[in-house]
Structure 1
Amino acid sequence: MIEPRHLRVLRAVSATGSFSAAARELGCTQPAVSQQMKALESAAGTPLIVRAGREMRLTQAGEVLVRHATGILAGLTAAEEEIAAIAGLRAGRVRLVSFPSGSSTLVPSALAALRAAHPGTRVSLVEAEPPSSAEMLRAGDCDVALAFRYGGPGEEWDDLVERPLLTDRLVGVVPEDHRLARAESVSIAELAEEAWIAGCPRCRTQLVEACGAAGFSPRIDFATDDYPAVIGLVAAGLGVAVLPELALASARVDGVRTLRVAPAVRREIVALTLPDLAQVPAVAATLDELERAAER
């Protein structure tokens, strides 16, 4: 195998014309240069230098290798400098995927703090709901996935690194003139006869399960992943909904009232990455800033 150190020796020998002069330039001994050259010729499988008395000249193969050595060594130097920049957070890229209510609440302040602390780190953002976001992470399409789940830890992310961020409570949303609008809390069973506006597929499943536990099947008239649209439909008197507090924090709530729901329904917000990616400085810094954003 041709190694970079061998190429450096060959280039020095070519430039100086002798092993002894190359040794002085490289700061090593003449026997060390001779040994490196023998190893390089062995790896190349052909002579690279012709010795004639005290003079040395490159063979055709040696000339080819010297010509390529300059570009190879320059490329390695550039790669080393770029890697050092990434390791020192002077550069780097993080591909983030997030669900919509996370994108509008946790992500902006986290990325603003990350940019202020590490201006050389670039972050891209796309939106996807779990479990699609976790599958994107496993497929190599992102580096960090902001995700949520209901019911506490399970096996679905056992192969991933989880950074718990916060617990997000679901609240009832009713029109401001609803019969229960002045109540502080409501049981889901009290809404059994209402029309429902459902959210994302995972939230929809959770709604059906919660209503089933209360003894009824919800009549879902509308379903949309757009939380402002859910609030607008409720405000228009077209139904009721349960929404995460995180979603309400990023939307106008004119025309609706929010109520505590009993029994309480919560979802866990986490940041996910792969075990190897967790060691990458830019990814680790992104996870740290997401955690700080959740604390705020």
Structure 2
Amino acid sequence: MISHEVRSFLAVADSGSLSAASDKLFVAASAISRQIQRLEQQMGVPLFTRHARGMQLTEAGEIFAHHVRKNLLDMEFALAEIKGLKAVRRTLMRIACTDGLAFSLLPRLIAGFRAVNPGVLFDVTVAGTQGVAALVRNGECDLALQFSLHAEPGVEVAGSWPAPVLLVMHERHPLAQAAGITLADLSPYPLALPQQNTTVRQLFDLACHMSGYLTEPVLTCDNFSTLFHFLRHTPLAVTICSAFTLPEEAEREGLRLRSVGIEQLSQRTLQLQRPSGRPRSAAVQHFTDYLLTQLPALAASLHPRGQA
């Protein structure tokens, strides 16, 4: 139902080279090149810029790739309806999220949903903020959960909840019971921080800059699990996250979540996102409704405790 030319075009667009597309499709690179040339002749514009390191989509190529992917998704949805899969039966749901949400919250929500809907399968992709937004815009996922600082173009926000940046430490840490923590109070203690491409780190760095506090983390990592386990084994360490990142683990592991009264650290929300203007299966809508029930209740239970 998809032409050889379009299949070859998408393979090169996704992989960035003729050789990689050839390996993916088990078709000679020369044949793929001819098929793309035929497409370009039909359209009257080049779809790729050729260079020594591979092939990159032109502006026209980006437009064509976007519409091809959208049409393929629409076709998949139509086939699912025809086969009677629109009901919440055995169907695959594609979810994208940022790292902090993959640590505990999303697995917990998926497990709760599947306890009632065991026929629904999940494929979860973990990416950075821009990567998740791109997956949603391109229709490469059905739903996304991510911490965000602003609205993303081409993305529909189905729900949004405050997700301020909190300090995380052991309950016996000297700062755990202190009144009115400031960023300067962190100086004597080892800091474990996410990398600077995360919204939580960006807000933390902004708050530090505005407060005149110079951070020097002993550990940086883009995987929250690494920060979490470092904290568990380092009694005086401090890390940062949202209360959503540790919905159950903080209490179970004897950790304390504390807020710092700085405006910059409150400029973030947890967003439930979905592709704009796309048809949705019954399973996706059912899971969306489930999240819109669970997340507000979770937000109400987490933040008063976390910001105490």
Do the structures match in fold with TM over 0.5? yes
2:226 counterpart letter in structure 1: A
Partner SS, residue 220 of structure 1: coil
1:209 paired with 2:206, answer yes
Aligned to 2:101: 102
Partner SS, residue 271 of structure 1: strand
2:244 aligned to which of 234, 243, 246 = 246
Over 3 Å counting, the alpha-carbon distance change for 1:90 and 1:278 in structure 2 is same
2:167 aligned to which of 172, 184, 188 = 172
Partner SS, residue 85 of structure 1: coil
- Give how far 1:270 is off: 1.1
Report the Cα distance in structure 1 between the residues aligned to 2:288 and 2:207, rounded to whole angstroms: 32
After superposition, the C-alpha distances for 1:57-115 in whole angstroms (9 at most, x for unaligned) are xxxxxxxxxxxxxxxxxxxxxx8785362333345332112224323444345434544
After superposition, the C-alpha distances for 1:39-65 in whole angstroms (9 at most, x for unaligned) are xxxxxxxxxxxxxxxxxxxxxxxxxxx
After superposition, the C-alpha distances for 1:147-180 in whole angstroms (9 at most, x for unaligned) are 1113xx34xx131111224322322234555442
Partner SS, residue 227 of structure 2: helix
- Counterpart contact for 2:98–2:128, Cα < 8 Å: yes
- Counterpart contact for 1:114–1:289, Cα < 8 Å: yes
Aligned to 1:128: 127
Residue range with higher mean Cα deviation, 203-212 or 193-202: 193-202
Give aligned pairs, total.
Answer: 214
| Structure 1 segment 226-265 matched on structure 2, within 5 A | 226-235=223-232, 236-237=234-235, 239-251=237-249, 254=253, 256-263=255-262, 265=265
Report the Cα distance in structure 2 between the residues aligned to 1:86 and 1:105, rounded to whole angstroms: 30
Greater radius of gyration (CA): 1
Aligned to 2:91: 92
Gaps spanning 5+ residues in structure 1: where?
1-78
1:188 paired with 2:183, answer yes
Aligned to 1:224: 221
Partner SS, residue 262 of structure 1: coil
Aligned to 1:199: 194
Q: TM-score, normalised by structure 2?
A: 0.58
Percent identity of equivalent pairs: 21
Aligned to 2:286: 285
Alpha carbon RMSD of aligned pairs, Å? 3.1
Report the Cα distance in structure 2 between the residues aligned to 1:181 and 1:109, rounded to whole angstroms: 27
- Give how far 1:268 is off: 0.8
- Counterpart contact for 1:174–1:181, Cα < 8 Å: yes
2:211 counterpart letter in structure 1: A
Q: TM-score, normalised by structure 1?
A: 0.60
- Counterpart contact for 1:143–1:273, Cα < 8 Å: yes
Over 3 Å counting, the alpha-carbon distance change for 1:91 and 1:262 in structure 2 is same
Aligned to 1:145: 144
Report the Cα distance in structure 2 between the residues aligned to 1:118 and 1:85, rounded to whole angstroms: 17
Please identify which structure carries the higher strand content.
1
- Counterpart contact for 1:100–1:128, Cα < 8 Å: yes
2:247 counterpart letter in structure 1: A
- Counterpart contact for 2:90–2:121, Cα < 8 Å: yes
Partner SS, residue 257 of structure 2: strand
Over 3 Å counting, the alpha-carbon distance change for 1:81 and 1:142 in structure 2 is closer
Over 3 Å counting, the alpha-carbon distance change for 1:184 and 1:164 in structure 2 is farther
